Structure 1
Amino acid sequence: MTRALIVIDVQESFRVRPLWETISDPKIADKVNRLVRLAREAGELVVWVLHSEPGSADVFDPALGHVRLMEELERADGEPLIHKTSHNAFTTTNLQQLLTEHGIRELTVCGIRTEQCVETTARVASDLGYGVTFVVDATATNPIPHRDAPADLSNAELLADPRTLPAEEVVRRTEYALAGRFATIATVAGLEAAAQPRA
């Protein structure tokens, strides 16, 4: 086993925010489950990552109870669960030590949000020498407001603002930024097809 699946921030915190209504893939947990099944069948390590902001009094504060895996996901016995407080899954955790202990050299990454915690983790992992596969359709994100937009936009105002970067465009640009530099871009179906035994 030299590969691990890193599932990043697929947690209830996102689902309780009003912004969830604009998420690019509300059924992301289904695609993550398919990747988890593939990893387990291949005997690969599955690492679960949750974003936590203790004391923040918002949805990422563990005291409020939302910092947990989405209910559709099930962590198996022995699969590591780590909590991060930075955008990437390495800086504030023991992830690199964990991967080294297991002899992991290749990572498959997925999760929320495409251009934020998942992309940042992919970039740091690449810089640390890991081979990275970014499963683009097993990530999800939201539209991004223009830098000059008010901070308190409603979802309707966010979507109506012509300066807003649509979620689909965020995903596309992330793909372009990573491909050939920091990661190999893959899809869930492509990985499933590659895992099928040759006839």
Structure 2
Amino acid sequence: MNELNEALLVIDSQKVYASEGSELYVQDYKAVVENINKLIQLFQKQGKPIIYIRHMHNSRKDSGRMFDYVGEELEVGFLEGTADIEYIEELEIVDEIPEVIKRRYSAFEGTSLETVLKEKGADCVVITGFMTNYCCEATARQAHDKDYFVKFILDATGAPELPDLSEEDIRKNTAANISFGFGNVISTAEYIQQNI
């Protein structure tokens, strides 16, 4: 395989996942963000593209079918103008880095992401962020279907626990889904070791 032109996707690293009162609180969000920051620093040092992706809605009316299957209606956040959509304080923000706003799970759906990737000459996406099993996995699957190579950095993604699944179980399930057909699943340390 020829050398890949990679772009780091920092997906939905927003305060809704770092606020203890939130229904989407991720207990180990600090460790996840620490790993994301290591990758941001590496990509910045190597001059590789970084793209921040933010999930945001103007109202519940622009969310399509996203929240149809969650049972009773949740106060989930992501509304424009609320603190929930701001980036997590610990996240390293690099000036003049493109930001893509999304309104669906996949960062490709209805956004400018593919245009930005083409402008950057990227043929491989390196997936990080929140939530492991929704936005990160959906983006990885759609990236694969659009013929991008996918590297999924498992410990640089996070998700709130589900009633029957711990965060670690969620990661294992997503890793199994991705690695058997959609991309390479590796850790932050493995990725850094392969790219220094």
Question: For the superposition of Structure 1 and Structure 2, which TM-score range results when normalised by the shorter chain?
Answer: 0.7 to 0.9
Distance 1:76 1:21, change over 3 A: closer
Q: 1:1-199, aligned counterparts within 5 Å?
A: 2-16=5-19, 17-19=21-23, 23-56=27-60, 59-145=77-163, 164-196=164-196
In the aligned structure 2, how far is the partner of 1:96 from the partner of 1:63?
26
The alpha-carbon deviation at position 65 of structure 1 amounts to 3.0
Distance 1:118 1:20, change over 3 A: same
Percent of aligned pairs with the same amino acid: 26
In the aligned structure 1, how far is the partner of 2:25 from the partner of 2:150?
30
**Residues 58 and 64, structure 1, Cα contact 8 Å, conserved in 2:** no
In the aligned structure 1, how far is the partner of 2:128 from the partner of 2:152?
7
- Segments of 4+ moved more than 6 angstroms: none
- The TM-score normalised by the length of structure 1 is 0.83
**Residues 88 and 117, structure 1, Cα contact 8 Å, conserved in 2:** yes
The alpha-carbon deviation at position 21 of structure 1 amounts to 5.1
Structure 2, gaps ≥5 residues long: 61-74
Distance 1:74 1:21, change over 3 A: closer
Secondary structure of 1:193's aligned partner: helix
The alpha-carbon deviation at position 58 of structure 1 amounts to 5.2
Secondary structure of 1:4's aligned partner: strand
In the aligned structure 2, how far is the partner of 1:109 from the partner of 1:186?
10
The alpha-carbon deviation at position 22 of structure 1 amounts to 5.2
**Residues 107 and 131, structure 1, Cα contact 8 Å, conserved in 2:** yes
Structure 1, gaps ≥5 residues long: 146-163
The alpha-carbon deviation at position 24 of structure 1 amounts to 4.7
Q: How many residues align?
A: 178
The alpha-carbon deviation at position 66 of structure 1 amounts to 2.5
Larger radius of gyration: 1
In the aligned structure 2, how far is the partner of 1:143 from the partner of 1:65?
22
Residue 133 of structure 2 aligns with an amino acid whose one-letter code is E
Distance 1:18 1:101, change over 3 A: closer
**Residues 17 and 29, structure 2, Cα contact 8 Å, conserved in 1:** no
